[in-house]
Structures are given as C-alpha cells and as structure tokens.
Structure 1
Amino acid sequence: MVVQPASGINVAGMVPETASIGKDHAVTSMLPIAAEYPLWADYAQLTAHLPPPVIRNPAQPLVSIVVPSLNQGRYIGDTLRSILAQEYPNLEVWVIDGGSSDETPAVLRAFAGDARVQVVVGKDAGQADAINRGWARARGSVLAWLNSDDTYLPGAIASQVAALQAHPAAVAVYADALYTDAAGQPLRTIAARPYHPLALLRLLIPIQPTVFIRRAAVGLAGPLDLRMRYALDTAYWVRLAQLGSFQPTSAVVATYRLHAASKTVAQFAGFYREWLQIAEQTFTAMPELSPARREVLADIYAAMANLEARNGSLRAALRYAAYTLTLAGWRPRLAKTPLMLLDRVLGSDLAERAGSWWGRQTRG
C-alpha cells in the first residue's frame, strides 16, 4: 500500500461531441487515464511514479476500482474486503481518503500488505473530485467506483466484466442491487430497469455500485462534475449515454447500504435541485428529447412527492404531487405517495415492497 499526497484541482469536464466508443477500446494501454485522454489533463500531475498494477492473468482485463472515503471507518473495512475477496485476477484499488478523522486510518493500515490496494490521503474537493483522483490514476480496461459504505457480492467483478465482453457496443453494464440496513442486514432487492436515455432523466438510473464502465468511455467523457454533490452519478450516466448504451444484467452484484448518515437517506432535499438541473440541461443540449420534457419533469416531481411523504411532510408531498399532475396528469409513480404516508403512520414498508414488485415487472 502506497500513501500519496493529494493536490488541488478544479474540473467540470465535458463530453466531446464527436466521441464514440468501439469494442477495440476495450484493451488497456496500461497508461493512467489522465496520461492518455486530453479531458483528464488537469489531473495528469497525479500520475507520476505509480506502482505497477497486479496482473495475475494477462488474458483477462485489468479492473480499476476507486473507493472515495471520508469518515466511514465503520464500513470501509467491509467495502475493501468485499473487493479483495473477489475471485478476479487483475485488480487495482485506489482508496482516495479526504483526511478522515475517525477510525478510517487504522482500518486502512490493515490492508497495507496487499499490493492491489493503494491509498491516497489528502484534502479533496468532495466525492466527485475523489473519484476523479482515483480514475485519473487508473490503468484498467474497466473502471468502477464503490462508495466506502457499500460492498460487492461474490462474483460481482467477474460477472460484470463478462457482461461487457458479451456486449461490445455498450459503454457500461449495470445489474441488480441489494439494499441493506446500517448493520448490513438485507432489506430488499432493487431490479435493474431496462435502459433508455430518458429513463436516466426519470431517475430510473442504474444503481451506482453495480455499474462497470469501459475505460474509453471514461476517458472520452472526462472527469465527474465537481459542482455535483448529490446526483453526481445521474449526471455522469447522462453524459456517458451520449457515447453509447448501458446494458443491464440480471445478477445481484452489490449491496447499497442505507444508514442515517448517508446522503440518500439524510440529505434528499439536495438531490431535488440537481435532478431538475440535470434534466433541464439535457433537454437544452439534446433538443430531440424535448417532446418528453413535461413527462420527465412530472416524474421527477412525483419522486420528490414520495420522498417528502416518506419524511412525513404532507404539505410538501401534496405540493410536489400537484406539480406532477399539472405538468403531465397522472403518473404511475404517484401511486407510492399514499403508501409512503401510510407507512409513516403504521411503520410498515408497503411502498418499498410495491416499488420492488413494480421494478421486477418492468425490468423486461
């Protein structure tokens, strides 16, 4: 394990209009991303003197996994063990820690003897910047990031690499995920929905820890947008979708931990602004999608109504439901709103069960 200092960078990154992805891009050049692709040039200074990646089977591609980390010492050990326990021969793992003040440093020292794990410690500009700092150093043909409170299930990496190899036209693959509670106990399975660019805007997005991306797609799409704090994965998937399609698979490959400190649970109001911003920017950049604008925005407001209902905010839930109806009339997503309110009163999980059932019915 090599501990490297971090340095300050400010990058948004844009997708080049003429970018394209082909199957020939699947073979890694063994250069860091930032040393090969112009859109990553602002991160190039981070790529000097990198330790060689661990290659145990040259017939298989190298996979680069980034773990952004900040004060998740309670969970990050499970995250790293889930990666290193994969029966996949060629791995490099970049832990980008923003200067954790909890037990994280002690936990990370336990992985010092594994040459697959490299740790970079130093202040960064947030989660998106941490992921960029890791991917900038990546030598793999396949890239992913795994948040420091999530885990991979056995066989995850091998199955997603195989899916990319089986679908050479896809820029990325994604799969089913298992929601767990703070203790890691299973809650419910979230099905991978059929892919369509508009589905991304409707928030039917690939569950982030299941997504594995071709190196060339990341190189051409550029770094994640540092302005995005909450919906950075949605924003990046939309950019990648300009390069090619996403391929869903039916395997359950990762866990997604829900706990009080996670942004998904504790800070969902912050997602609202970014969801609407991403949608409006996309309709401006891709006017061919504009006929679906009202329905897409209605679906976003319906999701907001559901979240407010789950939080017990009846007035806000009704307001967003009214926005939905005004924009596009009845939307199926609104069926969850009364269930969310009922769950709040009864302590049940009817809405989540209904959502999981609907996801299985619509997965294709």
Structure 2
Amino acid sequence: MSDGDITVVTPSYEQADYLGDNLQSVMNQSGMPVEHIVIDGGSTDETVEILESYEDQYNLKWISEPDNGQSEAINKGIEMATGEWIYWVNSDDYLLDGAISRFAEHITAHPSSDVIYGDFFFVDADGNEVGRKYNTNPSEFVHKHYYQFTGNHCTLIRQSVFEEVGMLNEDLDYTMDTEFFWRILRADLELVRINEFFGARRLHEGAKTTGEPSGERQAEIKGLRNSYPASPIETILPQKLLTAIAFSLQALYHVSNGRPNAVRHMNL
C-alpha cells in the first residue's frame, strides 16, 4: 500500500456506452497518484475492447470474468487496491474535473481523517446536469429515515476502514452502499464533510436503481430499515412521519451549514 495514493475502484457490467467517460475522467485527474481498478463481470458488449484501448494510457488495471454481482466486484477491487484511499465509482458514473487534486488538499488538511466526503451531481444519459445531492452532517436518524449521509460518488475511504467495519455485504444487490455507510456511521471514525462537488451519478434506463423500485429492491430496503436499532419513539411513529422529521432535520443542517440553497434540491 502506498501512503497518500488513491485507488479508484470501478465495478462494471455491460456499460460500454458510458465506460469511456468513466475511464477518461479518472485518467485526466491530477494532484496525487491514482490507481484505477476496473472489475468487469464478463460483459459481452465492447467493454473489454474499451479497457484494452486505455490500459497503456494511465495506471489502469482490470479483469473481466463472471462474478456474483456488483458488491463482489467492488470487494475484489478493494482487495486488489494498493492505494491508502479508496474511491468507489461505478462504470456509468464519473469524476468531476479536479476532484482528486481537491481531495488531495483535504487529505493534507485533515491528516487523521478516515472518511472525506462531499457532494455529487445527478446527470442524464448524455451527461447533462439534472439535479444535485448536497450532503450534510453525519446523522443516524437522517440516514435511517430519509437519505444515507453520503454516497460513493463523492467519498474517499481510508483502506483501514474496511479492516474495521468490514467489506460490502455481497448478499445485497441494491442497498449495499446504504448498509455499508451505516456501519461507517456507527463506528468510531473521523468523518470530514466538504462543501464541494466531486462526482456525477448518471441516471439512465439501464441503471438498476433508476425508476420505480423493483420488488427485490423494496424488500432489501425494508429489511435494512428493520435491522436498524430504534428508539421507543421510533417504534410508535409511522414511517411517513419519521421520514418527514428526518427531511426537516437535514434541511436544518443545510441552513446551519450556510447552504440554504441546498434545501430546494431535496425531495420528500
């Protein structure tokens, strides 16, 4: 492992239409050494040809073989990583220009940090901005009842964190990020929030979390919610009211953080 280096881990499957943008966005970063590991699940589109065309252009490592899904692919990439910091970015998403150099500044400014996170854009299939996700202070209540406290699109995680809280749960196909970030939230870690945008999450028809939740996804969400410890008041109040309270709490965080404009990007 190299102190100060970042490894971008990218799980991929049948995303040739968008993979080039992902690779290009990592290749164009500067500010500190970046290793890029792409774990492809044996795609049958042009994914392999695209990876081959980039492998000599920057520090890219990749494999393409059948796997058991996105969570296993991410875990494979983390296990292969040599960087001190991990940045998980899906193959249909990408880094914003200057993301790594800005992260490097915050790593220097917060040398004891375990997790550094910011915000991300939502973009459409063509890369046009269609929304923004502003993150706020870590809050178990908000995480449980409204929205996870951060997202993989804008978060650096120190390698040692995976040793402390464990890897992604490979039994989960849709909520592995929410469950993983919950474990981070509950651990004794130094979390640093940055008021900057670092990545873009692409919304398109082929994305598994775009559109109405499938039955399997709804079941995972319900199972995860039921696994959270609950205070007595949380067992009494209906879920819709708990969600409304969490929504209001996050709005207050935005205002107290001097970002009232972020409230209009929230959806209840």
The TM-score range, normalised by the shorter chain, is 0.7 to 0.9
The alpha-carbon distance between structure 1 residues 97 and 167, as it changes in their structure 2 partners (threshold 3 A), is same
The answer to whether the aligner puts 1:230 opposite 2:135 as a matched pair is: no
Shift of 1:295: 8.0
Alignment of structure 1 residues 85-234 onto 2, 5 Å: 85-168=28-111, 170-205=113-148, 206-234=150-178
For the 8 Å contact 1:193–1:204, the answer to whether it is kept is: no
The alpha-carbon distance between structure 1 residues 218 and 179, as it changes in their structure 2 partners (threshold 3 A), is same
For the 8 Å contact 1:135–1:143, the answer to whether it is kept is: yes
Shift of 1:167: 3.3
For the 8 Å contact 1:142–1:161, the answer to whether it is kept is: no
Shift of 1:253: 1.0
Shift of 1:74: 0.2
SS in 1 for 2:83: coil
Q: Distance in 2 between matches of 1:169 and 1:295?
A: 40
SS in 2 for 1:143: strand
Partner of 1:250: 195
Query: Structure 2: which 5+ runs fail to align?
Result: 249-260
Q: Rg: which structure is higher?
A: 1
Shift of 1:168: 4.5
The alpha-carbon distance between structure 1 residues 297 and 184, as it changes in their structure 2 partners (threshold 3 A), is farther
Partner of 1:282: 228
Return the TM-score normalized by structure 2: 0.84
Q: Which amino acid aligns with 1:210?
A: C
CA RMSD of aligned residues (A): 2.7
Give aligned-pair identity as a percent: 25
String of CA shifts for 1:150-200, please: whole Å, max 9, x gaps: 110111122224334433454312111111111111112221222222222
The alpha-carbon distance between structure 1 residues 161 and 99, as it changes in their structure 2 partners (threshold 3 A), is same
Q: Distance in 1 between matches of 2:264 and 2:111?
A: 26
Shift of 1:275: 2.4
Shift of 1:88: 2.9
Indicate which of 264, 267, 272 corresponds to 2:218.
Answer: 272
Q: Distance in 1 between matches of 2:234 and 2:58?
A: 49
Partner of 1:240: 184
For the 8 Å contact 2:141–2:246, the answer to whether it is kept is: no
SS in 1 for 2:14: coil
For the 8 Å contact 2:114–2:157, the answer to whether it is kept is: yes
String of CA shifts for 1:117-172, please: whole Å, max 9, x gaps: 00111111100000000000111111111000111011112222433443345431
The alpha-carbon distance between structure 1 residues 123 and 296, as it changes in their structure 2 partners (threshold 3 A), is farther
For the 8 Å contact 2:11–2:74, the answer to whether it is kept is: yes
For the 8 Å contact 1:177–1:255, the answer to whether it is kept is: yes
For the 8 Å contact 2:142–2:246, the answer to whether it is kept is: no
Shift of 1:83: 0.7
Q: Distance in 2 between matches of 1:182 and 1:359?
A: 23
SS in 1 for 2:30: coil
Partner of 1:260: 205
Partner of 1:358: 263
The alpha-carbon distance between structure 1 residues 221 and 101, as it changes in their structure 2 partners (threshold 3 A), is same
- Paired positions, count: 252
Q: Distance in 2 between matches of 1:153 and 1:259?
A: 18
Partner of 1:63: 6
For the 8 Å contact 1:62–1:141, the answer to whether it is kept is: yes
String of CA shifts for 1:233-289, please: whole Å, max 9, x gaps: 101001122322532211111111000111221452343322232232231xxxxx5
Q: Distance in 1 between matches of 2:190 and 2:147?
A: 14
The alpha-carbon distance between structure 1 residues 124 and 164, as it changes in their structure 2 partners (threshold 3 A), is same
Q: Distance in 1 between matches of 2:126 and 2:10?
A: 20
Return the TM-score normalized by structure 1: 0.63
Query: Structure 1: which 5+ runs fail to align?
Result: 1-28, 31-59, 284-288, 299-323, 335-355
Q: Which amino acid aligns with 2:65?
A: G
String of CA shifts for 1:47-86, please: whole Å, max 9, x gaps: xxxxxxxxxxxxx711111110100000001001101101
For the 8 Å contact 1:195–1:245, the answer to whether it is kept is: no
